[in-house]
Amino acid sequence: MRAAPVRRAVRPRPRHTARASRVRRKGTTWEIRTFVATSAVIAAVFLLAMLYLAQTTTVSTLGYEAQRLQQTRDELRRQNALLEVDNARLDAPARIQAEATKLGLVRAASVPVFQLDQITAKR
Amino acid sequence: MTEAVSPRRIRVVFALFACATLLLTLRVGYWQTLGRGDLLAGATDQVRSDLVLAAQRGVVRDRTGALLATTVALRSLYAIPKRIGDTAAIEAAASKLAPLLGTTDDAVRRSLESGAEWLYLRRRLPEETAKAIESLGISGLGFEAEPKRLYPNDAAGAHLLGFVNDDGVGQYGIEGAYDEALRGSPGSLVVERDPQDRQLALGLRIARPPVNGADLTLTVDLVIQTAAEGVLREAIQKEHAPSGSVVVLDPRDGAILALASYPTYDPASVAKADPQALQDRAISWTYEPGSTMKAVTIAAAIDQHVVTPNTTYDDKGYAVIGGRVLHNALDKAYGVSTVTQILEHSANAGAVFVASKLGAEQLHAYLGAFGFGTATGVDLAAEARGDVRPTAEWYPVDLGTIAFGQGIAATPLQLAAAYAAIANGGTLYRPYVVATRRDADGEHRTAPVAVRRPISAETAATMRTMLTSSVDNGISNGAAVRGFSVAGKTGTAQIPSDDGRYLDDAYVSSFAGFAPANDPRFVAVIVLERPQSRLLGTLTAMAAFKSLAVDTLRALKIQPDRP
């Protein structure tokens, strides 16, 4: 069997004071909640905007950097092509022949050819 | 004290504000709805740029990979005179620029003071010059990259390569024949730009990348090409000849190893070239080949079994055909001679004897089979096809004259291709220059084309022996190379005038041959027009062949086949 709850004697407050207090507490809670909610929404929107801006700025910066790197790459390719042309100019048989002539070199009358089997036989 | 405002005035002001607000709202509404497109287009136009992305023209290399032609962006110098400064500043700039541009101070100053807001001072500068100008730091000057076709070997292979004109279109040679493949197709780029003319990463971006031109690797060997041009130049200078040409072929598949023509030009500065120099005389010019054709006549007769190398005839120094008397050179009579000796002596009377045995129809058929009278189909621009008249148009004497190469017209390349058929065992190959083409789809190798077989392998082997004897024992001995078997034949031909008669004392001297005769690796034809030594021009042609043969055999690393 359950024991009956013990009721303490509480002095009742006047009815009109309690209602006013309840209304006042209720109003304060609503204001705080609204304020907090609004602040949270504003903060969230602000944060999202900042995030978006940060991303946009990063992408833009990287875009400019990519362009700069592309230009560098193009210039290096151009320089490489110019060097290849220079290399080909220096390798040109006509130029080498002219330089050799300037140095007093003459064309070999004959080019000796050694057969591999002959060399092997001598060893 | 506060003055009372009449309600009526307030109402009027309110009404005005209301009207203004309404008008503003309507206007904003219009721009956001009906006028949105125009507004957007106007705004986009301010930041949008449409660019054509030029395709890179393909690179041309020789068979060893040596660079023959490439396109590089060179810097063009432009000026905005107003930004340079006042007259004193312009004069100072002109005096600094003039020596670098290779001109006078006045010329530069006049350009800068011409009144133009923007002008090119010099286009496509050498890189060293551009760097030197850049280091001057003159305000109001700038550079713009422009593509330039460069030929690092200067005039070497000029006729073979052709050139690219100012509009970027390939002309003559490889540049002309393969222009479409080399050029590629341009792309496009539509982007939005910021005030500093930089592309916006987040803006509009529509890109169609360009398709670069194909890279070509030629069958040509730069060392042999340089040697061919060198021997041709020397021969031309020695003979004071106005023009000449050289063709070097690989007889095994028709690959062109070298192709030289004189007069020549620098493909990088075509504007200064003599228009006559643009003609590639190895493929676009025809001539009566003369005695080099005797090899073709005799090959036909042996292939038809109407003569053998040992068939004899009595050489009296002349032959009579169609009522006309045709003489040997210098009226020499050789007595009883074999067909082999016809080549050794280059006897016209002997060639007439062989042709008479063969007959006009057969000779004509063999000329066609060897490729005379039709273009070889070489992959170069502006090839001539030569002229072999139908037998119906032949006079009786034509059988005799055509037997020794007078009365028909051929290009040096046609003659080289015919000799290549003799050299390789009887197959006529289509000459070709491009070995491989590399594009976005990968590498495409040119397959050699065997056109037909004009003579049997046995006939070809017999002809190689006879032509070797012509060099070893005959008048072609000047072409002999120590350590190698060489086969070949000289040619001296008269030049027809416009009225159909032959010119007095004007000849075309030539030599056609191949080596090593036992396993030919190259065929060369040397042609000299109007040599000063006239009939002796063949000596110079033979010497040129010999020199070229030595260089070619070395370049191809061919071992001697004789002690």
pLDDT > 90: percent of chain B: 77
In angstroms, rounded to a whole number, what is the distance separating the alpha carbons of residues A82 and A17? 96
pLDDT, position B333: 93
pLDDT, position A16: 64
Q: Residue A1: pLDDT band by 50, 70, 90 thresholds? A: very low
Q: Residue A7: pLDDT band by 50, 70, 90 thresholds? A: low
pLDDT higher than 90, residue B458 = yes
Chain A nearest-CA distance from B201, in A, is 5
pLDDT higher than 70, residue B466 = yes
Chain B nearest-CA distance from A83, in A, is 10
In angstroms, rounded to a whole number, what is the distance separating the alpha carbons of residues B404 and B187? 57
pLDDT higher than 60, residue B528 = yes
Q: Which residues of B touch A (CB under 8 A)?
A: 66-67, 70, 72-73, 127, 145, 150, 152-154, 156, 198-202, 222-223, 226-227, 229-230, 482-483, 554, 559-560
Question: Which residues in chain B are contacts of A56 at CB distance < 8 A?
Answer: 202
- CB-based contacts of B245, cutoff 8 Å, min separation 6: B232, B259, B260, B261, B262, B280, B281, B282, B285, B412, B525, B526, B527
Q: Best residue in B61, B125, B127 to probe A by mutation, most A CBs within 10 Å? A: B127
- For B262-296, the pLDDT digits (tens) are 999 998 888 888 888 999 999 999 999 999 999 99
Q: Which helix (H) or strand (E) holds B435?
A: strand B434-439
Question: Which residues in chain B are contacts of A87 at CB distance < 8 A?
Answer: 67
In angstroms, rounded to a whole number, what is the distance separating the alpha carbons of residues A20 and A15? 9
- For A28-54, the pLDDT digits (tens) are 788 888 889 999 999 999 999 999 999
In angstroms, rounded to a whole number, what is the distance separating the alpha carbons of residues A99 and A109? 19
What average pLDDT does range B227-248 have in this prediction?
96
Give the one of A59, A94, A113 whose C-beta lies nearest to B560's C-beta: A113
Chain B nearest-CA distance from A47, in A, is 21
Give the one of B145, B150, B199 whose C-beta lies nearest to A67's C-beta: B199
In angstroms, rounded to a whole number, what is the distance separating the alpha carbons of residues B544 and B549? 8
Q: Residue B551: pLDDT band by 50, 70, 90 thresholds? A: very high
CB B286 within 8 A of CB B496: no
CB contact under 8 A, A85 and B198: no
CB contact under 8 A, A62 and B201: yes
pLDDT, position B263: 95
CB B345 within 8 A of CB B143: no
In angstroms, rounded to a whole number, what is the distance separating the alpha carbons of residues B303 and A54? 87
CB contact under 8 A, B230 and A59: no
CB contact under 8 A, B201 and A60: yes
Locate tokens 């003159």: which residue?
B138
Q: Which residues of A touch B (CB under 8 A)?
A: 56, 59-60, 62-64, 66-67, 78, 81-82, 84-89, 91-94, 97, 110-111, 113, 115
pLDDT > 90: percent of chain A: 46
Chain B nearest-CA distance from A105, in A, is 16
Chain B nearest-CA distance from A28, in A, is 39
What average pLDDT does range A61-69 have in this prediction?
89
Half-sphere exposure of B307 (CA within 13 A, CB side): 28
Please tell me which residue of chain B has the smallest CA distance to A68: B198
- For B5-23, the pLDDT digits (tens) are 788 888 898 999 999 999 9
Please tell me which residue of chain B has the smallest CA distance to A107: B551
- CB-based contacts of B100, cutoff 8 Å, min separation 6: B129, B132, B133
Interface predicted TM-score (ipTM) of this complex, two decimals:
0.80
CB contact under 8 A, B226 and A97: yes
**Encoding tokens for residue B48?**
């949008």
Rg (chain A; Cα; Å): 48
Q: The pTM is what?
A: 0.83
pLDDT higher than 90, residue A14 = no
Chain B nearest-CA distance from A99, in A, is 15
Question: Which residues in chain B are contacts of A60 at CB distance < 8 A?
Answer: 200-202
- Most distant pair of Cα atoms in chain A: their distance: 136
What average pLDDT does range B99-116 have in this prediction?
92
State the average pLDDT for chain B: 92
Question: Which residues in chain B are contacts of A93 at CB distance < 8 A?
Answer: 156, 222-223, 226-227
CB contact under 8 A, B70 and A113: no
- For B328-340, the pLDDT digits (tens) are 988 899 999 999 9
- CB-based contacts of B336, cutoff 8 Å, min separation 6: B312, B313, B314, B315
- CB-based contacts of B59, cutoff 8 Å, min separation 6: B67, B69, B70, B71, B215, B216
pLDDT higher than 50, residue B37 = yes
In angstroms, rounded to a whole number, what is the distance separating the alpha carbons of residues B526 and B538? 9
CB contact under 8 A, A85 and B70: yes
pLDDT higher than 80, residue B460 = yes
Half-sphere exposure of B148 (CA within 13 A, CB side): 22
**Encoding tokens for residue A112?**
């000796």
Question: Which residues in chain B are contacts of A63 at CB distance < 8 A?
Answer: 199-202
Q: Residue B437: pLDDT band by 50, 70, 90 thresholds? A: very high
* Position with higher pLDDT, B84 vs A23: B84
Question: Which residues in chain A are contacts of B559 at CB distance < 8 A?
Answer: 113, 115
Locate tokens 């004069």: which residue?
B91
CB contact under 8 A, B154 and A84: no
- For B467-512, the pLDDT digits (tens) are 999 999 999 999 999 999 999 999 999 998 888 788 888 899 999 9
- CB-based contacts of B273, cutoff 8 Å, min separation 6: B265, B266
Question: Which residues in chain A are contacts of B145 at CB distance < 8 A?
Answer: 78
For the stretch A20-42, what's the b/e string if a residue is b when 16 or more beta carbons lie within 10 angstroms of its beta carbon? Answer: eeeeeeeeeeeeeeeeeeeeeee
In angstroms, rounded to a whole number, what is the distance separating the alpha carbons of residues A42 and A45? 5
Question: Which residues in chain B are contacts of A106 at CB distance < 8 A?
Answer: none
pLDDT higher than 70, residue B450 = yes
Please tell me which residue of chain B has the smallest CA distance to A71: B198
CB contact under 8 A, A93 and B127: no
* Bridge partner list, B119: B79
Neighbours of A78 (CB within 10 A): 16
What average pLDDT does range B355-384 have in this prediction?
95
Size of interface A-B (CB pairs under 8 A): 65
Kindly write down the DSSP assignment for every residue of B80-116, as one continuous string.
Answer: -HHHH-SHHHHHHHHHHHHHHHTS-HHHHHHHHTSS-
Chain A nearest-CA distance from B148, in A, is 11
Locate tokens 């304060």: which residue?
A28
Cis, bond preceding B516 (omega within 30 deg of 0): yes
What average pLDDT does range A11-30 have in this prediction?
67
Chain A nearest-CA distance from B152, in A, is 5
Kindly write down the DSSP assignment for every residue of B335-366, as one continuous string.
Answer: EEEEHHHHHHHT-HHHHHHHHHHH-HHHHHHH
pLDDT, position B2: 55
Q: Residue B32: pLDDT band by 50, 70, 90 thresholds? A: confident
CB A73 within 8 A of CB A79: no
In angstroms, rounded to a whole number, what is the distance separating the alpha carbons of residues B454 and B332? 32
- For B372-406, the pLDDT digits (tens) are 999 999 999 889 999 999 999 999 999 999 999 99
- For B143-174, the pLDDT digits (tens) are 998 899 999 999 999 999 999 988 889 999 99
Half-sphere exposure of B361 (CA within 13 A, CB side): 0
Q: Which helix (H) or strand (E) holds B273?
A: none
pLDDT higher than 60, residue B104 = yes
What average pLDDT does range B307-316 have in this prediction?
95
